[in-house]
């Protein structure tokens, strides 16, 4: 199977994206049945990855790929070990169910094709992320997931809240992505390796290098924003604006786990250091507690699930960084269990919302008669989330407690934290899974009835898996949990916990959790009221902080633009000349490169001296001129004098151009004067004139120093010799100046004539605007 | 130095001095010129004198290709004067223009 | 022998040209008002420069330079009066005054 | 500014100057001249014609919008640079051919077409500026 695997895997990686491209067309053609057809793509991918289970369970690693940019040793390559294979199976498996579920959920929605396309696009991006081998490929897919999540959250773009949530998610995860890129570049520089597969087996180098902490912080920033850890968690609850299939798929099972995947992937190389084992549990713990507490406060089903997802992610991060022997196995088991039961619960919440028209817990009751199958799936998922025996959730919880329960005070603290967190999650599980279905029925906006097969298939399958995986735990561990755990810790690990409860501290802790959870579930309303009061005096959360940050940025940019672009031409020109003077004067002064006093030229010919004098007189005339027109004309004298000097020094081309340009500029200036009807008198106040004079002399001085400096050095005639020698042979032209302009430095001239043309366009536009405004104002009067 | 070259170079040197003097006088008129037309006339005169210079230098250095510069300068000088004439016509005496 | 003759002739042309230019410059400075100065500038100045161009034509001897020098002379002599004419018209129309000693203003009489 | 004298002389003058500008352009490779200076002279010629006969006359005379002339010039210059692709030499390399036209060996080159491009751009841009400035009169 491995022989032709590379080509096949390559195709499978692009299968979801191909399906995404076909989705709109198929939906228009097949209508609501399109979802079932489109679900084939992830299903095929799932089967393809299943074929690797045997190999990976045996400890081998499947790699393959194609050279993408060989010069940067960049390759489009993938790397399948326990970790990435499990993630790939999760993504494609749940993905298939989600596509079918979206078919049912979005039935009759006009943009169903576009929605399915985005979902499949996301699936392709996420698949690429967990499977990629080279750093850059990982980053590219990472950003693709952020973008597709932006598209999905903002799918219902008419609603302002959806747009704001989408933008917020993009800004936070996008920012994190940039930090990740910086972190990856650090890793690249430190280890000189661009392949994850090589990095994972790298022994030394990373942990000791001085840049380790910087790289760690940057990578953590990327992971924490993506997995909604404490300071960056506020975008996840807002992301619930997205349609429920998106919340079920992206914001519970796959996308938010990308951060955890990254931490698990880098664990063998960056783990086991004090920084790693302080930062991760610290942030994980805070997120766990704040998530569960905030969840209790909510009444909306999806928000409760969102906050508990945030809490579970915190738990996962805490476990990954805990460093105890069984911590990684606990993280692996909890990750798989969480994906199964949270995906199911979200889909149940979606079905309830779709059928009854409301998601408010307080308005839902007694739906068990109307929706038996959904109720069954909800109950199974809740039991697994609560961690009751015979369910995969129980295995995960047992493993967590065996990992955390150790003598030292740090372990005790974190165990207490885990118990409290799990208890609250137990309560929320049954609040979502059980409460809406029990008791007498309350009237709801839409008459509830069991949805079509598409709606209940997903939850039932996932919930059943939660049960079956526990019953056949041996099989599950051998093919899924052990290879994943050994991939994370980079040494052979076998997970062997079974669903049969065995006496010991972990079981006792589980019982305490369940009792506490039942208590909170029973007194849920009082607990919610308590939380509401507690949050009042806590003040505004990071969500409003984010809004204030964005408004502040907008105001800052407006202020800067108003300062830099005041719209008055003379300010631009003065600023430009001041900068010019500074660039010319400051460096020589600072670096002490002032030219020496030049020797007085001895062999100055009569006429050269005469024209220099005339140029000087011309300048004096310009400065002394009272009205603008005399200044323009005297400018002409100065230009002529310089042109003649060029002539005397034997530069015919140069003088030719100087004469032409001089006269034409005088003519055009005169034309502008008539056109704009500027008064010839110069009305600048004396102070302004002085300031302008100072700026002008500074620029002049700067240029003179520059010229003196360049003339000081002996004349290097390398270029002149080159051009003289080759001008005739290569360019067939005797006039070296023109040959240079047109042939040797043709591209420069191309640039220059482009500039000339753009100036022409600019003048045309300016005059038309002015003409427009004049005629416009004409009518106005 | 044959007799011919002797005569020629001395004549050239003298002409250069004379032209230089007239150039200075014209420049003085450009600066002093009370009215605008005075200055424009002086500028036109300036073009003429510079063409004279070019001719002299052409003879002295033997670079006959300077003549083209003289021709084009003549053309453009004419354009400048015509433009200024039109400007004087349109612009008035400089007292009734409106400050934009 | 012929060479000395050409040299003498060129020198002569150059000196006369320079003389005319000087006269024009002096006229430009001493004459009282715009219109009289225009006489000096356009007539004497043009002749001065024209002679210089002819000198170059004579001195050079080869056909192409001769042709270009003559074209230059012809062009320069053609445009100078026109520019003077335009300038005088514009100045007069704008009402630049004649010198008080001037006796007649035919253009004014013709206008009204 | 339409005095009779100027109106009679202007066409002759403009024609002469345009001819001179093309002359300066074409011989630019071996003697002083070239696209840029030729363009300037041509622009001055059109300016004189504009002053004598007014803006609409000039627009009618050159038939295309000056900016179109500038655009075509830039296009010509770039294309003459791109021709080197077919010859397999880097961008902007001068390619020379010596066709026999009427028995005279005439050297033609991409360099020359580039120079003509420059000439057209300069003429187009400056004429459009001058005409735009005089538009209001």
Interface probe with C: pick from B3, B16, B17, B22, most Cβ of C within 10 Å: B22
* pLDDT value at residue D42: 92
Q: Does B60 touch chain A (CB under 8 A)?
A: no
Find tokens 């660039």 and name the residue: A583
Radius of gyration of chain C (CA): 18
Q: Does D13 touch chain C (CB under 8 A)?
A: yes
Chain centroid to Cα A570, Å, comes to 41
Q: Does D42 touch chain A (CB under 8 A)?
A: no
Per-residue pLDDT averaged across A59-71, rounded?
80
Find tokens 């453009």 and name the residue: B76
Share of chain A above pLDDT 90, in %: 14
State whether A664 and D43 contact (CB < 8 Å). Answer: yes
Cβ-contact A276, A313 below 8 angstroms: no
Map A704-754 to HEC letters: HHHHHHHHHCCCCCHHHHHHHHHHHHHHCCCCHHHHHHHHHCHHHHHHHHH
Whether the pLDDT of residue B14 is over 80: the answer is yes
Q: Compare A247 and D31 and report the one with higher pLDDT.
A: A247
Whether the pLDDT of residue A4 is over 70: the answer is no
Residue spans of the domains in chain B: they are 3-91
* pLDDT value at residue A118: 92
Q: Does D17 touch chain B (CB under 8 A)?
A: yes
Interface of D with B in 33-62 (CB under 8 A): 33, 37, 40-41, 44-45, 47-48, 51
* DSSP secondary structure, A560-581, as one string: HHHHH--S-HHHHHHHHHHHHH
Cβ-contact B70, B54 below 8 angstroms: yes
Window from A6-10, A181-185, A729-733, A774-778 with minimum mean pLDDT: A774-778
Whether the pLDDT of residue A147 is over 90: the answer is yes
State whether D1 and B69 contact (CB < 8 Å). Answer: no
* pLDDT value at residue A552: 92
HSE, CB side, 13 Å, CA atoms: give it for residue A33: 2
Rounded to a whole number, what is the distance in Å from the CA of B35 to chain C's nearest CA?
8
Q: Does B73 touch chain C (CB under 8 A)?
A: no
Among candidates B75, B85, B89 on the partner chain, residue whose Cβ is nearest the Cβ of D44:
B75
Share of chain A above pLDDT 70, in %: 97
D chain contacts of residue C86, beta-carbon cutoff 8 Å = 1, 3, 5-6
* pLDDT value at residue A2: 44
- Token pair of A435 as six digits: 């409460």
C-alpha to C-alpha distance for A297 and A291, rounded to whole angstroms: 10
A chain contacts of residue D29, beta-carbon cutoff 8 Å = 731-735, 738-739, 742
Among candidates D31, D47, D94 on the partner chain, residue whose Cβ is nearest the Cβ of A731:
D94
Q: What's the DSSP call for residue A626?
A: S
Per-residue pLDDT averaged across D119-128, rounded?
92
Cβ-contact B80, B32 below 8 angstroms: no
State whether A750 and D34 contact (CB < 8 Å). Answer: no
What are the residues facing D101 on neighbouring strands?
A: D104
Q: Does B89 touch chain D (CB under 8 A)?
A: yes
* pLDDT value at residue A123: 92
State whether D78 and A750 contact (CB < 8 Å). Answer: yes
* pLDDT value at residue A136: 84
D chain contacts of residue A739, beta-carbon cutoff 8 Å = 29
**What's the pLDDT tens digit per position in A369-385?**
888 888 888 888 888 88
C-alpha to C-alpha distance for C37 and C25, rounded to whole angstroms: 9
Q: How confident is the model at residue D120 (pLDDT cuts 50, 70, 90)?
A: very high
**What's the pLDDT tens digit per position in A614-654?**
888 888 888 888 777 778 877 878 888 888 888 878 787 78
C-alpha to C-alpha distance for D42 and D64, rounded to whole angstroms: 15
Per-residue pLDDT averaged across A702-706, rounded?
89
Report how far apart, in Å, the C-alpha atoms of A291 and of each of A25, A321, A381, A420, A542 are. 41, 19, 20, 12, 13
Cβ-contact A87, A44 below 8 angstroms: no
Q: Does B67 touch chain D (CB under 8 A)?
A: no
Q: How confident is the model at residue A565 (pLDDT cuts 50, 70, 90)?
A: confident
Q: Compare A70 and D123 and report the one with higher pLDDT.
A: D123
Instruction: For chains A and B, tell me whether 3 or more CB atom pairs sit within 8 A of each other.
Output: yes
State whether B30 and A677 contact (CB < 8 Å). Answer: no
Q: Is A516 exposed, middle or buried (0-12, 13-18, 19+ CB in 10 A)?
A: middle
Rounded to a whole number, what is the distance in Å from the CA of B31 to chain D's nearest CA?
26
C chain contacts of residue B51, beta-carbon cutoff 8 Å = 49, 52-53, 72, 76
C chain contacts of residue D13, beta-carbon cutoff 8 Å = 78-79
Q: How confident is the model at residue B94 (pLDDT cuts 50, 70, 90)?
A: very low
For chain B, what's the residue count? 100
Per-residue pLDDT averaged across C101-111, rounded?
76
Cβ-contact A637, B50 below 8 angstroms: no
Among candidates D33, D48, D137 on the partner chain, residue whose Cβ is nearest the Cβ of B79:
D48
Among candidates C75, C78, C86 on the partner chain, residue whose Cβ is nearest the Cβ of D3:
C86
* pLDDT value at residue B1: 61
Report how far apart, in Å, the C-alpha atoms of A566 and of each of A561, A569, A769, C34 are. 8, 9, 18, 45
Among candidates B65, B79, B90 on the partner chain, residue whose Cβ is nearest the Cβ of D32:
B65
* DSSP secondary structure, A607-625, as one string: HHHHHHHHHHHHHHHHHH-
Rounded to a whole number, what is the distance in Å from the CA of D4 to chain A's nearest CA?
22
Among candidates A652, A738, A750 on the partner chain, residue whose Cβ is nearest the Cβ of D81:
A750
Cβ-contact C17, B52 below 8 angstroms: yes
Q: How confident is the model at residue A771 (pLDDT cuts 50, 70, 90)?
A: low
Share of chain B above pLDDT 90, in %: 1
Map chain B to HEC letters: CCHHHHHHHHHHHHHHHHHHHHHHHHHHHHHHCCCHHHHHHHHHHHHHHHHHHHHHHHHHHCCCCHHHHHHHHHHHHHHHHHHHHHHHHHHCCCCCCCCC
State whether C69 and B67 contact (CB < 8 Å). Answer: yes
Whether the pLDDT of residue B65 is over 80: the answer is no
Q: Compare A5 and A781 and report the one with higher pLDDT.
A: A5
Among candidates B65, B69, B82 on the partner chain, residue whose Cβ is nearest the Cβ of D48:
B82
**What's the pLDDT tens digit per position in A657-700?**
888 888 888 888 877 877 777 776 777 788 888 898 999 999 99
Angle A652-676/D35-53 helices, nearest 10 degrees?
A: 30
A chain contacts of residue B33, beta-carbon cutoff 8 Å = 630
State whether D6 and C78 contact (CB < 8 Å). Answer: no
Window from A128-137, A448-457, A498-507 with minimum mean pLDDT: A498-507
**What's the pLDDT tens digit per position in D46-99?**
988 988 888 889 999 988 999 999 999 999 988 888 888 787 777 777 777 778
C-alpha to C-alpha distance for A723 and A748, rounded to whole angstroms: 16
Rounded to a whole number, what is the distance in Å from the CA of A92 to chain D's nearest CA?
49
**What's the pLDDT tens digit per position in C39-62?**
888 888 889 989 998 888 888 778
* pLDDT value at residue D111: 83
C-alpha to C-alpha distance for C86 and D8, rounded to whole angstroms: 13
State whether C85 and D9 contact (CB < 8 Å). Answer: no
Q: Compare D103 and A750 and report the one with higher pLDDT.
A: A750
State whether B15 and C17 contact (CB < 8 Å). Answer: yes
Whether the pLDDT of residue A776 is over 60: the answer is no
* pLDDT value at residue A221: 92
State whether C69 and B8 contact (CB < 8 Å). Answer: no
* pLDDT value at residue B92: 53
C-alpha to C-alpha distance for A215 and A229, rounded to whole angstroms: 18
Q: Does C75 touch chain D (CB under 8 A)?
A: yes
Q: Does B18 touch chain A (CB under 8 A)?
A: no
* pLDDT value at residue A779: 42
**What's the pLDDT tens digit per position in A205-240?**
677 888 888 989 999 999 999 998 888 888 888 888
What are the residues facing A79 on neighbouring strands?
A: A63
C-alpha to C-alpha distance for A364 and A342, rounded to whole angstroms: 20
Cβ-contact A224, A231 below 8 angstroms: yes
Per-residue pLDDT averaged across A67-85, rounded?
82
C chain contacts of residue B3, beta-carbon cutoff 8 Å = 4, 7
Q: How many angstroms separate the first and last alpha carbons of chain C?
A: 63
Q: What is the mean pLDDT of chain C?
A: 86
State whether A738 and D81 contact (CB < 8 Å). Answer: no
C-alpha to C-alpha distance for A131 and A143, rounded to whole angstroms: 15
C-alpha to C-alpha distance for A187 and D78, rounded to whole angstroms: 45
**What's the pLDDT tens digit per position in A30-53?**
887 888 888 888 999 999 888 888
- Token pair of D10 as six digits: 């202007």
Report how far apart, in Å, the C-alpha atoms of C14 and of each of A653, C6, C67, C79 are. 25, 12, 19, 22
Angle A392-404/A372-386 helices, nearest 10 degrees?
A: 10
Q: How confident is the model at residue B100 (pLDDT cuts 50, 70, 90)?
A: very low
**What's the pLDDT tens digit per position in B29-54?**
887 878 888 888 888 888 888 888 88
Q: Does B71 touch chain D (CB under 8 A)?
A: yes
State whether C91 and B35 contact (CB < 8 Å). Answer: yes
C-alpha to C-alpha distance for A143 and A173, rounded to whole angstroms: 8
Whether the pLDDT of residue A598 is over 70: the answer is yes
State whether B69 and D20 contact (CB < 8 Å). Answer: no
Number of domains in chain C: 1
């Amino acid at each position: 199977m491995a022989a032709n695997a590379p080509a096949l895997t390559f195709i499978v990686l692009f299968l979801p994206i191909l399906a995404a491209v076909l989705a709109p067309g198929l939906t228009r053609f097949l209508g609501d049945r399109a979802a079932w057809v489109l679900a084939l793509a992830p299903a095929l991918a799932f089967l393809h990855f299943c074929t690797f289970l045997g190999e990976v369970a045996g400890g081998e690693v499947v790699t393959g790929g194609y050279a993408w940019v060989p010069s940067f040793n960049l390759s489009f390559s993938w790397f399948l070990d326990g970790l990435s294979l499990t993630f790939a199976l999760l993504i494609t498996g749940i993905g298939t169910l989600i596509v079918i579920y979206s078919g049912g959920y979005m039935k009759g929605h006009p943009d169903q094709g576009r929605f399915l396309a985005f979902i499949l696009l996301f699936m392709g991006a996420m698949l690429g992320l967990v499977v990629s081998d080279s750093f850059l490929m990982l980053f590219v897919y990472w950003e693709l997931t952020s973008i597709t999540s932006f598209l999905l959250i903002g799918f219902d773009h008419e609603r302002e809240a959806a747009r704001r949530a989408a933008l917020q998610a993009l800004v936070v995860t996008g920012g994190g992505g940039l930090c990740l890129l910086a972190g990856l570049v650090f890793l690249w520089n430190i280890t000189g390796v661009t392949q994850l597969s090589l990095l994972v087996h790298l022994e030394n180098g990373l942990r000791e290098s001085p840049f380790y902490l910087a790289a760690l912080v940057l990578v953590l920033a990327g992971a924490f924003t993506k997995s909604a850890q404490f300071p960056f968690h506020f975008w996840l609850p807002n992301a619930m604006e997205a349609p429920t299939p998106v919340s079920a798929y992206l914001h519970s099972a796959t996308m938010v786990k990308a951060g955890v995947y990254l931490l698990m992937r880098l664990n063998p190389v960056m783990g086991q250091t004090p920084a790693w084992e302080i930062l991760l549990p610290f942030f994980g713990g805070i997120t766990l507690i704040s998530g569960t507490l905030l969840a209790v406060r909510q009444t909306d089903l999806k928000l409760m699930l969102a906050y508990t997802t945030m809490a579970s992610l915190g738990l996962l991060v805490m476990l990954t960084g805990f460093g105890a022997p069984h911590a990684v196995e606990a993280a692996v088991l909890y990750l798989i269990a969480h994906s199964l039961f949270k995906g199911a619960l979200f889909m149940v919440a979606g079905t309830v919302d779709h059928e009854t028209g409301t998601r408010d817990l307080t308005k839902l009751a007694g739906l068990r008669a109307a929706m038996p199958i959904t109720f069954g799936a909800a109950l199974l998922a809740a039991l697994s989330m609560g961690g009751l025996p015979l369910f995969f959730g129980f295995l995960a919880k047992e493993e967590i407690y065996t990992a955390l329960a150790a003598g030292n005070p740090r372990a005790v603290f974190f165990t207490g934290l885990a118990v409290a967190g799990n208890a609250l999650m137990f309560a929320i599980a049954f609040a979502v899974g059980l409460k809406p279905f029990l008791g007498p029925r309350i009237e709801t906006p839409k008459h509830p009835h069991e949805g079509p097969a598409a709606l209940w298939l997903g939850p039932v399958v996932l919930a059943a898996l939660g049960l079956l995986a526990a019953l056949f735990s041996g099989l599950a561990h051998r093919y899924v949990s052990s290879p994943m755990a050994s991939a994370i810790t980079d040494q052979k690990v076998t997970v062997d916990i079974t669903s049969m409860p065995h006496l010991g501290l972990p079981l006792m802790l589980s019982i305490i959790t369940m009792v506490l959870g039942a208590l909170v579930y029973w007194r849920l309303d009082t607990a919610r009221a308590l939380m509401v009061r507690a949050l009042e005096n806590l003040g505004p959360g990071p969500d409003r902080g984010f809004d204030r940050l964005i408004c502040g940025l907008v105001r800052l940019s407006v202020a800067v633009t108003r300062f830099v672009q005041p719209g008055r031409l003379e300010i631009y020109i003065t600023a430009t000349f001041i900068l010019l003077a500074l660039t010319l004067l400051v460096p020589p002064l600072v670096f002490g490169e002032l030219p020496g006093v030049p020797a007085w030229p001895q062999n100055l010919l009569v006429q050269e001296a005469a024209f220099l004098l005339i140029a000087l007189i011309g300048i004096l005339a310009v400065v002394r001129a009272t009205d603008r027109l005399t200044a323009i004309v005297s400018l002409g004298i100065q230009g002529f004098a310089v042109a003649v000097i060029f002539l005397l020094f034997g530069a015919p081309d140069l003088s030719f151009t100087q004469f032409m340009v001089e006269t034409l500029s005088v003519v055009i200036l005169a034309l502008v004067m008539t056109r704009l009807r500027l008064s010839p008198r110069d009305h600048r106040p004396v102070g302004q004139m002085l300031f302008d004079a100072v700026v002008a002399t500074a620029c002049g001085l700067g240029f003179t120093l520059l010229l003196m400096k360049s003339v000081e050095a002996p004349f290097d005639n390398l270029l002149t010799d080159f051009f003289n020698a080759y001008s005739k042979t290569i360019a067939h032209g005797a006039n070296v100046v023109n040959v240079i302009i047109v042939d040797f430095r043709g591209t420069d001239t191309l640039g220059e004539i482009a500039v000339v043309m753009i100036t022409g366009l600019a003048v045309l536009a300016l005059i038309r605007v002015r003409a427009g405004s004049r005629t416009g104002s004409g009518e106005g009067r | 130095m044959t007799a011919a070259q002797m005569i020629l170079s001395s004549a050239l040197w003298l002409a250069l001095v004379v032209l230089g003097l007239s150039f200075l006088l014209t420049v003085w008129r450009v600066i002093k010129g009370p009215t605008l037309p005075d200055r424009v006339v002086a500028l036109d005169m300036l073009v003429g004198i510079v063409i004279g210079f070019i001719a002299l230098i052409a003879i002295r250095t033997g670079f006959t290709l300077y003549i083209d510069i003289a021709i084009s300068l003549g053309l453009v000088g004419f354009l400048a004067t015509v433009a200024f004439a039109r400007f004087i016509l349109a612009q008035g005496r400089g007292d009734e223009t409106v400050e934009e | 022998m012929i060479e000395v003759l050409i040299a003498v002739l060129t020198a002569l042309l150059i000196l006369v040209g320079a003389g005319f230019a000087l006269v024009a410059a002096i006229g430009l400075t001493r004459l009282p008002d715009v219109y009289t100065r225009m006489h000096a500038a356009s007539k004497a100045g043009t002749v001065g420069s024209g002679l210089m161009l002819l000198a170059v034509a004579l001195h050079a001897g080869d056909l192409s330079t001769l042709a270009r020098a003559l074209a230059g002379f012809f062009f320069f002599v053609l445009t100078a009066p026109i520019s003077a004419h335009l300038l005088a018209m514009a100045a007069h129309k704008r009402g630049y005054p004649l010198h008080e000693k001037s006796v007649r203003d035919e253009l004014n009489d013709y206008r009204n | 500014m339409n005095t009779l004298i100027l109106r009679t002389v202007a066409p002759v003058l403009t024609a002469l100057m345009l001819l001179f500008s093309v002359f300066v352009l074409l011989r630019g490779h071996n003697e002083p001249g070239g696209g840029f200076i030729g363009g300037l002279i041509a622009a001055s010629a059109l300016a004189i014609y504009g002053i004598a006969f007014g803006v609409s006359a000039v627009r009618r005379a050159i038939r295309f919008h000056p900016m179109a002339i500038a655009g075509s010039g830039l296009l010509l210059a770039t294309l003459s640079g791109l021709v080197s692709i077919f010859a397999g030499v880097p961008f902007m390399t001068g390619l020379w051919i010596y066709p026999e036209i009427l028995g005279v060996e005439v050297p033609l080159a991409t360099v020359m077409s580039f120079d003509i491009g420059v000439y057209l751009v300069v003429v187009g841009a400056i004429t459009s500026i001058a005409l735009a400035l005089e538009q209001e009169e």
